[in-house]
Amino acid sequence: MGGIRNIIAGIFCCVLLVFSLQAQDSARLREDIRILSADCFYGRGNAYQGEKLAAEWIRNELKALPHLRPMGENGFQKYAFNAFRMEGEVVLKVEEWELNPFTDYRIAPFSQTTQKENVPIVKVDASLLMDTARMENFLMKYWTSIKRSVVYIDGVQWKNDKKYSKESIQKVLQSLQYQNPFQSIGIMVGVDELPVWGLSNTDFERNYALLYVLRRQLPKKCKKMTLSFSNEFYKKETQNICFAIDGAVHPDEFVVFTAHYDHLGCMGDSVIFHGAHDNASGTATVMDFARYYSEHQPAYTTVFLLFSGEESGLRGSKNFVRNPLIPLDKIKMLINLDMFCGGDDGIMVVNSTQGKTKEMVDMMDTINATKHYVTAIKRRANAANSDHYYFTKHCPAIFIYTLGGKYGGYHNYTDTCENCGLNNYSAMFALILETLQQYLHN
């Protein structure tokens, strides 16, 4: 019985293997995206070493490909930056009412660890923040009680107050991310729409917690709260992943594929940000190009760079440009992929309006006009919105992302593998490959 079962299992595995050996197959791509966005990598961020575990997995996958050679320290380029990691239980109770993390409230990722029960809530009129003299008076009068409280600001009421412009409110709200004018334990802002969770401004420590809460989820009576979460500020040791295949004709000139493999990690144990579209998809695509070239030796040395630290401000790519493992002025073309699922409405090419990159995207247009790989190829001027950016000062570099189609929410736990449409993947892969071949031949 067992024997037969083993044989059947063996045949099944072989079928799977043959299937997965076909490069650019979207089933193989989905499998890589599924693994990269799985719970076991904790959103490829700081919590529970998720990013590090993902890096090890990617390195092993690339090491297994024939003809690929690791660059740097065994395929890693190590560097470090300051970061936060939010691990463990996250609790917010207002009076006896427990709110749902992430869907009802979001703790800013730079918030100081807070473990407090029954903290008084002090409601403060938002206009105070616009009036230095009144603010000073207020603080002098209530100093001792404020510093043991959480200040509540009704952002919805404030937004609807015609006295203040949207811009001025935005500016003041923004400033709360850098300092707490109340010197309270924390600041809680009531909103009608929760802000996107992201890792900007996480490079220095604060001595307060900042949280945003849906005002409609707050109970009428709102005098005491329990807030508990842990968020450690630490020096994060991290790594870019760097591999190459030597070129058959031009070993000293380079084509580079890049993508960031990091994502947002977790908001404690309450939420894992899976980051399937952003950017397991780009990572898996770069791995797929590596698989392709490992079977078809390229004319130019082809380099595969998977960066960490993108979500914290393009740190990995910035570090690589400062400490390049190849001469940057010998890069013929760099293609960065970030958010590569979906694509029913085509693709956007960033930094494609002038120079060498324009030339290449013109070729892409011509190819697409006869082969109809994608619905549309749109162009944008350069922007610091992904890892191509720091390279653009040294070599031709573009950033491609998809338009339309199916993918989960942006910077949300709903960005999962199941929500990723890969129906345009093979065509997009073919378009890039063909364009690059033509561009390099000219």
**Stretch in the footprint of Zn ion (CB under 5 A) among 37-45, 207-215, 319-327, 334-342:** 334-342
Interacting residues with Zn ion between 137 and 166 (CB under 5 A): none
The residue (of 175 and 385) whose beta carbon lies closer to Zn ion is: 385
In angstroms, give the least distance from the CB of 310 to Zn ion. Answer: 6
Position 289: which residue type?
F
Verify binding: residue 338, Zn ion, rule CB under 5 A.
Answer: yes
**Stretch in the footprint of Zn ion (CB under 5 A) among 181-189, 199-207, 279-287, 373-381:** 279-287
Verify binding: residue 104, Zn ion, rule CB under 5 A.
Answer: no
- φ, ψ of residue 400 to 5 degrees: the values are -110, 130
In angstroms, give the least distance from the CB of 164 to Zn ion. Answer: 33
Q: What angle do CA 107, 100, 42 make, to 5 degrees?
A: 65
d(C-alpha 140, C-alpha 436), whole Å: 66
**Stretch in the footprint of Zn ion (CB under 5 A) among 119-127, 224-232, 271-279, 393-401:** 271-279
Which contacts qualify for 122-125: CB closer than 8 Å, 24 or more apart? 122/146, 122/149, 122/150, 122/151, 122/152, 122/184, 123/152, 123/154, 123/222, 124/151, 124/152, 124/153, 124/182
**Stretch in the footprint of Zn ion (CB under 5 A) among 45-53, 247-255, 332-340, 353-361:** 332-340
In angstroms, give the least distance from the CB of 405 to Zn ion. Answer: 16
Among 104, 154, 278, 415, binds Zn ion (CB under 5 A): 278
In angstroms, give the least distance from the CB of 339 to Zn ion. Answer: 6
Tally DSSP H helices, then E strands, for the chain: 10, 17
Q: Are 91 and 227 in contact (CB under 8 A)?
A: yes
Among 279, 351, 416, 435, binds Zn ion (CB under 5 A): 279
**Stretch in the footprint of Zn ion (CB under 5 A) among 21-29, 333-341, 377-385, 398-406:** 333-341
In angstroms, give the least distance from the CB of 384 to Zn ion. Answer: 13
In angstroms, give the least distance from the CB of 178 to Zn ion. Answer: 24
d(C-alpha 195, C-alpha 154), whole Å: 15
d(C-alpha 19, C-alpha 28), whole Å: 8
d(C-alpha 107, C-alpha 135), whole Å: 25
Q: How many CB atoms lie within 10 A of CB 119?
A: 18
Position 303: which residue type?
V
Verify binding: residue 32, Zn ion, rule CB under 5 A.
Answer: no
In angstroms, give the least distance from the CB of 140 to Zn ion. Answer: 46
Using CB under 5 A as the criterion, which residues of the chain lie in contact with Zn ion when the complex forms? 278-279, 338
